[in-house]
A and B are shown apart, each in its own frame.
Chain A
């Protein structure tokens, strides 16, 4: 993890000195984790791909301002999280103005389930409130500490812990109900 940070910092230096190819290397290094994070947050490949592009466009725009005081991954996750939040807000507005589109049709558009081993779990993660889902993904899938999550999501550490707890409890309850049905 530390070496990834060091490699990224060296690449950023190169990019700041005018080496455009260094940016490609940065993307290659972090693409998979950001794509998977966004995929878990939005629930389908198509949107995850678009949001991933938007995330790296923002990275390209602001990377020269990155001073290396925090972990690059934290900075990058924060951008991706903000991009996803903007997407959710737009989606909410679209839903408000459309009679036909509801949350389930949006989720089932190119769903994760086609390559997923545990579709019931995936579906139930998708149905969690956005905040809880994000914390769950950051904590379990990305393996981040509460401190990092609180920085990325701009919330208190306690709030991160409480929301994580609620997310786990809700999932347990829903999966139990699914198994009974």
Chain B
């Protein structure tokens, strides 16, 4: 007999009706367990998003808003507090530079730059790397 026919003739185990019923019952139980597990996961994720994420965002915002600079009437930025611009690979030469590269800086910064032209100087708070 050829290999193909031998394989075709391989006997599969006989599955009784009870076996199938038991399988379906076990399957239902497992599906219910996984549904509950999924619900818990969804609840936990929602709690994380609703409560914890805003807290983390606020903390991040606080730490970012400490970067304070002075824009002088010569349109140059001077470092006001202990903050090394070189460490952040940023170098600002003029307000035009800030405006041209505004993708680095949040929109509030650009608004503040407009104010700088009006009042000759102002303090700008911005988040780096945005």
Contact = CB atoms under 8 A, between A and B. Distances in A.
Interface of A: 24, 27-28, 31-32, 35-36, 39-40, 45, 49, 52-53, 56-57, 60, 115-118, 121-122, 125, 136, 140-141, 168, 171-172, 175
B30 A53 contact: yes
Interface in B52-85: none
A75 B15 CA distance: 23
13 contacts: A24-B24, A27-B20, A27-B27, A28-B20, A32-B20, A53-B30, A57-B31, A60-B31, A117-B11, A118-B10, A140-B7, A140-B8, A172-B3
A160 B42 CA distance: 41
Contacts of B91: none
Given A24-B24, A36-B13, A56-B27, 4 more contacts: A116-B10, A121-B6, A122-B10, A140-B8
A35 B12 CA distance: 10
Instruction: List 3 A-B pairs, minimum CB-CB distance, nearest first.
Output: A140-B7, A36-B12, A117-B11
A119 to B, nearest CB: 10
Contacts of A45: 13
Contacts of B12: 32, 36, 39
Interface in B22-44: 23-24, 26-27, 30-31, 34
B23 A49 contact: yes
B3 A168 contact: yes
Contact of A39 (B13, B23, B24, B27): B13
Interface residues of B, number: 19
B26 A53 contact: yes
Nearest to B38: A61
Interface of B: 3-4, 6-13, 15, 20, 23-24, 26-27, 30-31, 34
B118 to A, nearest CB: 58
B27 A53 contact: yes
A46 B8 CA distance: 23
A53 B23 contact: yes
A8 to B, nearest CB: 16
A31 B23 contact: yes
Nearest to A114: B13
Contacts of B13: 36, 39, 45, 115
A57 B23 contact: no
B16 to A, nearest CB: 11
A32 B15 CA distance: 8
B10 A168 contact: no
| Residue among B6, B27, B31 with most chain A CB within 10 A | B27
